[in-house]
Amino acid sequence: MRRCDVSKSGRLIIVSNRVAKPKRRGAAAGGLAVGILGALKESGGMWFGWSGKLTDRETRDPKISRSGNIEYATVELNERDFEHYYNGFSNRVLWPVCHYLLSFMQYESADFDGYRRVNTALARKLAALVKPDDVIWVHDYHLIPLAAELRAAGISNPIGFFLHVPFPSYEALRAVPNHEYLLRSLCAYDVVGFHTERDLACFQQSVTQPDIGGSLLPGGDIEIGGGRLKADVFPIGIDVDELQDLSLAAQSLSRVKSLVRSLAGRDLMIGVDRLDYSKALTQRLLSYERLLEKYPNTQSNLTYLQIAPPTRSGVRAYEEIRAELEQTSGRINGRFAEADWVPIRYLNKGVDRKRLMGYFRNSAIGLVTPIRDGMNLVAKEYLAAQDPEDPGVLVLSTLAGAAAELSEAVLINPYDRDAVADGIGAALNMPLEERRERHDVMLKTLRRNDIVAWRSRFVEALHGR
C-alpha cells in the first residue's frame, strides 16, 4: 500500500518489541536480535522499541543513544499494560497459536486491550521520530497492529513487517478471538515477509477468506480495501564468515579447551534452545534416552550437552518446563551414568557467542528438534561453525523453518522418539566423505541466503512499493 515516493538514501528504522543494545563483544543474543543487528550493521539506521524497563506512568518520549552507525530509541512501558500486552496476549495467545499449540492458549479480553494500547503508544512515540524519506521495518507478532496505528498517526512512509515465528493455518488462527482484526492489521503494511513458502501460503489463505476480503493477484500481490501489499518469502540468514572466524578463534578459549579435555575422546552432541515448550526439550531428552536403549554402543561414548537459557520468567508454563526438564535429565543420568561419564550435561543459562561457536565446532552432532519453529538460526550457526574438513552433522526437525533450506541435514520428526534416535545413530556413523558433501551443499545455501541477502531483499521489496 504505497503512500509516498521514498528515496533509497533514507534511514532504515527497525522496530521490535525489545531493543537489545550490545553490552559487550560476544554476548549471547537471540535469533531476532542477531538478525536485526546484522541488518543495521550493514546499512546503519535506527532501532526503536522497548528498553526493558517498566514504569507506573504513561509511556514517555524515547531515550536516544548511538553506537557506531546505529541509533537506539528506547521507551519504558507501563507495567500493567506490559503484562497484558507481552505476557498476556503476545505470549499466552499469539505464541502458542503460531506454533500450533492451541492447548496452551489463554485468551483474556483485557490482554487484547492491553496489546492494542501498547501498540498505539509505541506508534505515537515512533511517529514523532520518522523523517519523510525513512523506511520502517517492523518485526514479529508483538507488533502486528503497528502499521495501522502509524497510518492513523499520519505516517505515509513505506512500512514492512517480518514474522519471525511460523504463520498458522487459518483453521488454527480462527481460534483466536479478534483474529479478523489481526489479519486486517497485517494488510496495513506494504510488505509482509515470512521464512518459508508454507507460512506464506497460510497467510494468503487467511487474508483471502470472505470475511477479510483480500484477493490474490497473478503476480503474487494481495489486493484489499483498494490497496495492494506484497507478501513473500525472505528466509533470515547469518554472517557465515563471521561465525567461521569466531568458531576458529574460540579454540584458544580456556573453557572450550576444558570442554574438549573433559570429553576424553568421546563424541559430543549439542542442543541450544531457549527454555520454551515449542522446542520440545523434554521430548528430545526422551529421544536421547531411546538412543541409549536402542544403541548400547553409544553409552559411555556420546555426551549430550543441552544449553537452555531461561525465558519469560514468571510465566507458569515456562517454570513447569524447567522443572520437568531438570527431573527428566536427572532421571536419565541416574539410569545410565557411569563413574567417569554422565550422559547429559544440562546448563540452564546462556553461553556467550564466541564460546558457543567453539562448542559447536567440537560437536559431532548438532541436535535441533523443535516441534515448530519459524526458522531456527541455531541450525545455521552450527553449520557455519564446523570445520569443513571434518564437519559435524546437523540432525534437524522437519517442522523447523530451516528444514526448507537445509534438506541435506538428517531430517526427523521430533514427535517420533525412534526416528530421532535413528537419526542420531545415522549421524554418528556417517562417513567423512558424506559429511563433507552434505556440509558443503548446506554452506553454499547459507552463503546464498545470508544476513545481508535477507536485509537487502526485504528492504529492496519495501522500496519498490
Average pLDDT over residues 329-340: 97
DSSP run (H or E) holding 456: helix 451-463
DSSP 276-312: -GGG-HHHHHHHHHHHHHH-GGGTTTEEEEEE----S
Strand 365-368 relative to strand 393-397, pairing: parallel
Cell numbers 480462527 correspond to what residue?
A: 174
The predicted pLDDT at position 320 comes to: 86
Indicate the length of the chain as a whole number. 465
Q: Does the pLDDT at position 31 exceed 60?
A: no
Do 214 and 296 have their domain in common?
no
Residues 6+ apart with CB under 8 A from 312: 87, 91, 276, 318
Angle at 16 between CA 169 and CA 204, to 5 degrees: 25
Average pLDDT over residues 2-28: 67
Give the predicted TM-score (pTM) of the model: 0.93
The predicted pLDDT at position 22 comes to: 65
Higher pLDDT, 185 or 319: 185
The predicted pLDDT at position 57 comes to: 92
Q: 275 lies in a domain?
A: yes
- Under the banding of pLDDT at 50, 70 and 90, the label for residue 6 is very low
The predicted pLDDT at position 191 comes to: 98
Do 104 and 190 have their domain in common?
yes
The predicted pLDDT at position 291 comes to: 98
Q: 5 lies in a domain?
A: no
DSSP 66-105: EETTEEEEEEEEEHHHHIIIIIIIIIIIIHHHHTT-GGG-
User: Is 373 marked active-site?
Assistant: yes
Range from 29-43, 60-74, 106-120 carrying the lowest mean pLDDT: 29-43
DSSP 335-386: HH-BTTB-SEEEE-S---HHHHHHHHHT-SEEEE--SSBS--HHHHHHHHTS
- Under the banding of pLDDT at 50, 70 and 90, the label for residue 252 is very high
**Residue 58 is part of a domain; what is its CATH number?**
3.40.50.2000
Do 292 and 150 have their domain in common?
no
Closest CA to 93 of 2, 165, 189: 165
Helix (H, G, I), strand (E, B) or coil at 108: coil
Range from 268-282, 302-316, 440-454 carrying the lowest mean pLDDT: 302-316
Q: What Å distances lie between residue 126 and 42, 60, 182, CA to CA?
A: 22, 11, 20
Cβ–Cβ < 8 Å for 346, 326: yes
The predicted pLDDT at position 5 comes to: 41
The predicted pLDDT at position 240 comes to: 95
Cβ–Cβ < 8 Å for 58, 118: no
User: Is 139 marked active-site?
Assistant: no
Do 303 and 371 have their domain in common?
yes
Do 258 and 232 have their domain in common?
no
- Under the banding of pLDDT at 50, 70 and 90, the label for residue 53 is very high
The predicted pLDDT at position 27 comes to: 46
Q: 4 lies in a domain?
A: no
Read off the pLDDT of residues 219-250 as tens digits, 9 standing for 90 and up: 889 999 888 999 999 999 999 999 999 999 99
Cβ–Cβ < 8 Å for 264, 305: no
Read off the pLDDT of residues 168-202 as tens digits, 9 standing for 90 and up: 999 999 999 999 999 999 999 999 999 999 999 99
Q: What Å distances lie between residue 152 and 12, 149, 324, CA to CA?
A: 21, 5, 46
Cell numbers 534416535 correspond to what residue?
A: 421
Average pLDDT over residues 293-314: 90
Read off the pLDDT of residues 378-430 as tens digits, 9 standing for 90 and up: 999 999 999 999 999 999 999 999 999 999 999 999 999 999 999 999 999 99
Q: Does the pLDDT at position 278 exceed 60?
A: yes
The predicted pLDDT at position 7 comes to: 43
- Under the banding of pLDDT at 50, 70 and 90, the label for residue 30 is low
Higher pLDDT, 41 or 167: 167
The predicted pLDDT at position 9 comes to: 60
Higher pLDDT, 344 or 452: 344
Name the percent of the chain lying above pLDDT 70.
94
Do 257 and 164 have their domain in common?
no
The predicted pLDDT at position 104 comes to: 93
Do 207 and 244 have their domain in common?
no
116 burial (CB, 10 Å; 0-12 / 13-18 / 19+) is buried
Do 174 and 127 have their domain in common?
yes
Strand partners, 64: 73
Number of domains in the chain: 2
Do 43 and 151 have their domain in common?
yes
Q: Rounded distance, CA 20 to CA 325, Å?
A: 28
- Count CA atoms within 13 Å of residue 74 on its CB side: 14
Do 371 and 245 have their domain in common?
yes
The predicted pLDDT at position 36 comes to: 76
Strand partners, 63: 74
Long-range Cβ contact pairs of 173-177 (< 8 A, separation 24 or more)? 173/97, 173/202, 173/206, 175/97, 175/102, 175/105, 176/93, 176/94, 176/97, 176/105, 176/107, 177/107, 177/109, 177/112
Of the listed 84, 139, 142, 164, which one is catalytic? 164
Q: Rounded distance, CA 173 to CA 203, Å?
A: 10
Q: What Å distances lie between residue 75 and 18, 35, 58, 78, CA to CA?
A: 10, 21, 10, 10
The predicted pLDDT at position 226 comes to: 82
Q: Does the pLDDT at position 28 exceed 80?
A: no
**Domain span holding position 261:** 240-448
Do 261 and 186 have their domain in common?
no
**Backbone phi and psi for residue 368, each to the nearest 5 degrees, phi listed first:** -130, 100
Average pLDDT over residues 74-99: 96
Range from 193-197, 348-352, 362-366 carrying the lowest mean pLDDT: 348-352
**Backbone phi and psi for residue 50, each to the nearest 5 degrees, phi listed first:** -70, 140
Q: 60 lies in a domain?
A: yes
Q: What Å distances lie between residue 347 and 75, 195, 259, 418, 443, CA to CA?
A: 32, 29, 13, 25, 28
- Under the banding of pLDDT at 50, 70 and 90, the label for residue 316 is low
Average pLDDT, the chain: 93
Q: 6 lies in a domain?
A: no
Of the listed 373, 422, 439, 450, which one is catalytic? 373
Do 106 and 230 have their domain in common?
yes
Q: Does the pLDDT at position 3 exceed 50?
A: no
Q: What Å distances lie between residue 417 and 182, 204, 267, 306, 438, CA to CA?
A: 36, 34, 21, 17, 24
